[in-house]
């Protein structure tokens, strides 16, 4: 601590101030959800300069109270504060209190290094005195709040206000202002995202000091702390950052590197994103004892708009996007492509098959539980996810045809055609599966997932606008309606029963790999398909976790919210089935009907 006499001497010889260093930053890219709520910001780190005159009185008062309560009385340094700090530090035998004023902190941020030396401290004090001679108190406070670091990548009050609360600083409540003022002591220890309890305690301390200084009344403090702190959706967990990462490359491709701040209007629904993140976290927590550590969820509407995308449980800890980049075996969630191919070749849900052991070369598929049910309909085989039936059916209809069906519906990864392909041994991402199931949800039209609707400057100039495009009809009737019937039954009376939400038209399919390394639930309602994957990043097997358990439960939790947020729709029937063949011609001689030739039925899977 600099002795008062030395401080006074230095203040008399304060040097001329260097020019204010400009706030330099790259153009800022702000991503907003479909309703305009901020999801996240990339690029420039600083917010715009703070104008104290436009802030509510309680905002600057919060910072002054906790950082420098004699700010409006001193001339750059505070001898009273220095004395108080000296006494406190001597009593505790350590540097328990600091005595730097807001003006000194500003001087340090503007002109000096953080080195803890007597020379640097002396220069800091001299610059502080000169700042006080050059600028008004409001200007100094505005400069300070424009540049100080608030954690989570936010420099300046405006950036922090939008980062944490999705609002301009001019609209900060008393509780929010106290929270941000409390962050400055330690942006890590008092970050409201990472340390909500400690941040709340620190905010209450700020309010208590504001009461001491007369800035607010005790009643105002009590009322402020009784109001819940509402963090912005992007702040509360950061799940949408996976989505932004996915879009960032696409944004660069569409408009390049912007020369000014831009806003990217996306398809994401922040409410659904929050529901998806919550569903994954809570479900994985329940199944941790069964060696489940990660999950992903993607929801796509019938036009391909991504409404929710969660690529993992904790973006800050692991930003790898499992919803897009992770390729895992799909298990039985792949089987609808097998059954759709069979339906398109003439089978129906009532076509009978036999569940019995079958051998392909040296490989023989096994059912879950190693049991065989004998004669079944295709609808029953789907509901119970019978492996032997799916494998033989794929062989009957042609595995290359099954692969072609999957590609037609939106699978872009390579698809193998060995006998086990019917059981989902190809590696795919949750996003691909959501695209493919999207065609089941929208009446049979091809879905191509996308996330950017428009890119504009802050001034409103449109740099990119997505154009409406027609969707190809990739599934026709009766195959589409038959498949929907079968997948509805899989939820009502099959392995997907835990995904059921009473009162809604839902369909879907579970998926579990034979070694329990991957578990899926892929399902849909009218106009919305959602896919859940769970497993471990290192490929370690789970402890008998199936797609009908944890993934189906997470899917149900998410869909319960999704179905209430928008008007619930029945799964659409799709295009009309082809007209029946023309009426037969009567033979006037025999007076009999010459029946048209019957189509060749699919050979039953038996013996």
Residue (of 515, 549, 509) closest to 529 by Cα position: 509
| Catalytic residue set | 67, 332
Cα–Cα separations (whole angstroms), residue 131 to 22, 65, 82, 99, 127: 16, 20, 19, 17, 6
Q: Under a CB-based contact definition with an 8 Å cutoff, are residues 365 and 423 in contact? A: yes
Residue (of 447, 467, 425, 432) closest to 309 by Cα position: 432
* C-alpha to C-alpha distance for 104 and 121, rounded to whole angstroms: 9
Residue (of 452, 397, 389) closest to 605 by Cα position: 389
User: Residue 592: how many CB atoms within 10 A of its CB?
Assistant: 9
Cα–Cα separations (whole angstroms), residue 398 to 115, 243, 390, 392: 72, 37, 12, 10
The H or E element containing residue 417 is: none
Q: Under a CB-based contact definition with an 8 Å cutoff, are residues 542 and 536 in contact? A: yes
* C-alpha to C-alpha distance for 491 and 509, rounded to whole angstroms: 7
Q: Under a CB-based contact definition with an 8 Å cutoff, are residues 353 and 378 in contact? A: yes
State the DSSP code for 14. P
**Strands lying side by side in the sheet with 462-465:** 38-43, 28-32, 262-266, 452-457, 462-465
Residue 204: both structure tokens together? 């209450």
478: cis peptide before it, omega within 30°? yes
Contacts of 500 (CB under 8 A, 6+ apart): 491, 492, 506, 556
b/e map 7-35, b = 16+ CB within 10 Å: beebbeebeebeeeeebeeeebbbbbbbe
* C-alpha to C-alpha distance for 79 and 99, rounded to whole angstroms: 9
* C-alpha to C-alpha distance for 416 and 505, rounded to whole angstroms: 33
Q: Under a CB-based contact definition with an 8 Å cutoff, are residues 42 and 107 in contact? A: no
* C-alpha to C-alpha distance for 512 and 535, rounded to whole angstroms: 10
In the block, residue with structure tokens 């809604």: 504
* C-alpha to C-alpha distance for 504 and 529, rounded to whole angstroms: 14
Give me Rg for the CA atoms of the chain: 32
Contacts of 569 (CB under 8 A, 6+ apart): 505, 525, 526, 527
Cα–Cα separations (whole angstroms), residue 225 to 41, 64, 107, 195, 561: 29, 19, 33, 16, 29
* C-alpha to C-alpha distance for 98 and 63, rounded to whole angstroms: 15
**Helix, strand, coil percentages in the chain from 3-state DSSP, rounded to 5:** 40, 15, 45
Q: List the beta bridge partners of residue 464.
A: 455
């Amino acid at each position: 601590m600099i002795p008062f006499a030395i401080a006074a001497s230095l203040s008399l010889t304060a040097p001329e101030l260097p020019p204010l260093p400009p706030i330099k930053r790259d153009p800022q890219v702000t991503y907003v959800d479909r309703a305009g709520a901020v999801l996240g910001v990339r690029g420039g780190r600083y917010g715009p300069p703070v104008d104290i005159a436009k802030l509510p009185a309680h905002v600057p008062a919060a910072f002054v109270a906790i950082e420098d309560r004699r700010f409006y009385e001193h001339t750059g340094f505070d001898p009273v504060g220095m004395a108080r700090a000296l006494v406190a530090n001597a009593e505790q035998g350590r540097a328990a209190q600091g005595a730097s004023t807001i003006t000194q902190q500003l001087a340090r941020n503007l002109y000096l290094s953080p080195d803890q030396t007597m020379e640097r401290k002396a220069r800091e004090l001299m610059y502080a005195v000169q700042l006080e001679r050059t600028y008004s108190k409001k200007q100094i406070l505005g400069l300070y709040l424009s540049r100080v670091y608030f954690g989570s990548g936010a420099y300046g009050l405006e950036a922090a206000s939008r980062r944490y609360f999705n609002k301009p600083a001019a609209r900060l409540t008393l509780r929010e202002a106290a929270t941000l003022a409390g962050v400055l002591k330690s942006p890590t220890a008092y970050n409201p995202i990472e340390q909500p309890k400690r941040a709340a305690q620190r905010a209450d301390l700020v309010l208590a000091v504001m009461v001491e200084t007369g800035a607010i009344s005790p009643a105002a403090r009590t009322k402020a702390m009784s109001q819940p702190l509402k963090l912005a959706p992007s702040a509360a967990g950061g799940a949408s950052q996976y989505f932004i990462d996915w879009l960032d490359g696409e944004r660069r491709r569409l408009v390049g590197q912007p020369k000014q701040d831009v806003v990217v209007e996306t398809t994401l629904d922040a409410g659904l994103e929050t529901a998806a993140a919550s569903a994954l976290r809570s479900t994985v927590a329940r199944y941790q004892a069964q060696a489940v550590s990660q999950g992903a969820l993607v929801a796509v509407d019938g036009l391909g708009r991504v409404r929710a995308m969660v690529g993992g449980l904790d973006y800050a800890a692991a930003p790898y996007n499992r919803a897009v980049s992770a390729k895992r075996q799909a298990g039985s969630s792949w089987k609808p492509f097998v059954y759709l191919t069979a339906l398109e070749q003439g089978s129906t849900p009532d076509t009978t098959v036999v569940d019995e052991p079958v051998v392909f070369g040296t490989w023989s598929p096994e059912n879950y539980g190693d049991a065989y049910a004998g004669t079944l309909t295709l609808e029953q085989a789907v509901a119970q996810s019978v492996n032997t039936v799916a494998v033989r059916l794929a062989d009957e209809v042609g595995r290359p045809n099954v692969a072609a069906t999957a590609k037609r519906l939106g699978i872009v990864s390579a698809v193998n055609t060995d006998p086990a392909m019917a059981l989902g041994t190809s590696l795919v991402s949750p996003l691909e599966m959501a695209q493919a199931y999207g065609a089941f949800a929208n009446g049979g039209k091809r879905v191509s997932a996308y996330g950017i609707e428009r890119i504009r400057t802050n001034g409103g100039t449109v740099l990119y606008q997505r154009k409406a495009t027609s969707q190809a009809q990739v599934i026709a009737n009766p195959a589409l309606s038959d498949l929907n019937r079968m997948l509805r039954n899989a939820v009502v009376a099959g392995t997907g029963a835990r995904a059921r939400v009473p009162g809604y038209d839902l369909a879907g399919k579970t998926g579990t790999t034979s070694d329990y390394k991957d578990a899926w639930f892929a399902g849909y309602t009218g106009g919305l398909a959602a896919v859940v994957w769970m497993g471990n990043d290192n490929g370690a097997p789970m402890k008998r976790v199936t797609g009908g358990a944890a993934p189906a439960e997470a899917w149900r939790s998410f869909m319960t919210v999704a179905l209430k947020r928008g008007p619930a729709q029945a799964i659409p029937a799709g295009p009309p089935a082809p007209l029946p063949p023309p009426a037969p011609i009567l033979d006037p001689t025999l007076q009999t009907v010459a029946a048209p030739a019957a189509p060749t039925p699919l050979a039953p899977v038996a013996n």
